[in-house]
Amino acid sequence: MMHDVPYCKAVGALNWAALATCPDITFAVVTVACFAADPGPAHWEAVKQIFCYLLGTCNLWLTYGEVSSPLEGYADADGSIAED
C-alpha cells in the first residue's frame, strides 16, 4: 500500500524547505524523516499536513522595522587571518 507513495521524495522536499525558508517546520520534518525506512499511512498523513501548513502560510513573511526600508548588510571581508 505504501510502496506507491513518494514518501522519501516528499520528506526530502520538506527538508529543503525547512533548511532554506521555513525553520518553523523543522521539528515536524525531522519527526516524519525518522520513519523514512518504513512509513505507514499515519506518517504519510503527517507529511501531507505539513504541506497543507506550508500552503496556508505562503503569503506570510517577517518584516523588520519599516516595510519600505531597504535591507542593509555589513561584513568584515578584508581577507586577513586571525593569529593567536
Predicted TM-score (pTM) of the model is 0.69
Three-state SS for 71? coil
Kindly report the average pLDDT of the chain as a whole number.
Answer: 84
- Residue 4 DSSP code: G
Domain boundaries, the chain: 2-56
Share of residues in the chain with pLDDT > 70 (%): 76
pLDDT score for 7 = 92
pLDDT tens digit sequence for 41-62? 999 999 999 999 999 988 877 6
Q: Is the pLDDT of residue 66 over 70?
A: no
pLDDT confidence of residue 21: 83
63 vs 37: CA distance, rounded Å: 39
